[in-house]
């Protein structure tokens, strides 16, 4: 197979980037609108006094804050991802064959050879981070290197290099942050609710004035937390849907790219099957080492259905179904294999 650019992938990347920019503003102003309507009306009703002011955030200040946040994510995203995975960059002296394979595959598609990092995790997986092809880093786990044969490992590395060639790595470095942000804002609001009810229950002897003031404070906090929770949940759903628009499709595209690089669909198919079956048998503690905000970046998901409902993985809540079904990916690769053999 020859390397082919994917116009649909580019469209999805542009849409995702547009949503990445719009979402923080929509989230902030939706929350402000609710606080200035429902929140202030409630305060007036509880206190009997008019509330003429309103909550306000200057658009320039919000834009500056969002810009700083994106710059920080863009600049620090790779470092944060490597730290989260417990990975360190390695040189060709430590992993000569790994570096040689990455360098050879990169040369095939006219890319600078990405840096290589290795995580000590026993969970077999890989992902790529970086804001551009010049700064990309391919991360593999020791479990991946130990469990795959040479052809399978080459296929996985080719899959990751396809992400670099397609330039979806930079978009994902930004995009995966948004569902994470709205999810954790919702969780923070939930914690506030728990704290309010706990504090309220600890008051036993309060005079009438104190009771009224306490009731107002509790209601304001509860309503604010509920509004924040509702808005965060709604925007998490929206951000996740747009995130998924790119996250799932890019895996199919990278699979095709890997086949174009190696000419061996069967190697990637067997690699995916090995990863899927191996992770299903790993202890929970090993899986939780990779559980969290990087789920959508992995070559294979760690929240596969065969893990069972008793495994409490954050990735189930934060990024459910970010990858196409592994069986479907394997079927497509088998079709490519049959097509190549028939030529």
Residues with catalytic function = 160
Q: Which structure tokens are listed for 282?
A: 């790993």
CB atoms within 10 A of CB 305: 11
Cβ count near 198 (within 10 Å):
9
For residue 88, the cross-strand partners are: 118
SS3 readout for 43-111:
HHHHHCCCCCCCCCCCHHHHHHHHHHHHHHHHHHHHHHHHHHHCEEEECCCCCHHHHHHHHHHHHHCCC
Neighbours of 340 (CB within 10 A): 14
Cβ count within 10 A of residue 68? 10
Q: Which residues pair with 137 in a beta bridge?
A: 115, 129
298 close to 176: Cβ distance less than 8 angstroms: no
Nearest CA to 162 out of 321, 268, 274 is that of 268
Query: Could you tell me how many residues make up the chain?
Result: 343
- The CA dihedral of 17, 256, 294, 149, to the nearest 10 degrees, is -160
Kindly report the CA angle at 163 between 122 and 301, in degrees rounded to 5?
A: 40
d(CA 129, CA 119): 14
* Pairing status of strand 137-141 against strand 115-119: parallel
- Per-residue DSSP letter, 122: S
């Amino acid at each position: 197979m020859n390397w082919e650019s994917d116009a649909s992938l580019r469209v999805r990347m542009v849409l995702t980037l547009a949503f990445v920019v719009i979402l923080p503003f929509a989230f902030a102003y939706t929350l402000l609108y609710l606080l200035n309507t429902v929140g202030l009306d409630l305060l007036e009703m509880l206190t009997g006094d008019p509330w003429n002011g309103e909550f306000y955030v200057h658009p320039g200040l919000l834009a500056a804050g969002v810009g700083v946040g994106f710059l920080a994510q863009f600049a620090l995203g790779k470092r944060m991802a490597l730290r989260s995975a417990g990975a360190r960059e390695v040189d060709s002296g430590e992993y000569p064959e790994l570096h040689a394979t990455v360098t050879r595959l990169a040369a095939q598609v006219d890319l600078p050879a990405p840096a290589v990092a290795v995580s000590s995790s026993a969970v077999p997986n890989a992902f790529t981070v970086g804001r551009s092809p010049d700064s990309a880093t391919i991360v593999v786990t020791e479990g991946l290197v130990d469990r795959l044969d040479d052809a399978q490992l080459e296929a996985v590395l080719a899959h990751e290099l396809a992400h670099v060639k397609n330039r979806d790595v930079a978009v994902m470095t930004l995009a995966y942050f948004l569902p994470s942000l709205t999810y954790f804002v919702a969780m923070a609001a939930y914690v506030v609710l728990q704290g309010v009810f706990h504090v309220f229950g600890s008051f036993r002897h309060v005079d009438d004035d104190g009771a009224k003031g306490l009731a107002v404070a509790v209601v304001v906090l509860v309503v604010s937390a509920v509004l924040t929770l509702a808005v965060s949940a709604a925007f998490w759903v929206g951000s996740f849907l747009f995130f998924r628009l790119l996250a799932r499709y890019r895996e199919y595209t990278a699979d095709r790219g890997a086949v174009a690089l190696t000419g061996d669909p069967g190697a990637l198919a067997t690699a995916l099957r090995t990863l899927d079956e191996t992770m299903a048998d790993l202890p929970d503690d090993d899986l939780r080492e990779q559980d969290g905000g990087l789920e959508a970046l992995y070559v294979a998901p760690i929240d596969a259905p065969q893990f069972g409902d008793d495994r409490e993985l954050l990735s189930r809540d934060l990024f459910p179904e970010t990858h196409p079904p592994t069986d479907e990916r394997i079927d497509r690769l088998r079709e490519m294999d049959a097509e190549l053999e028939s030529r």
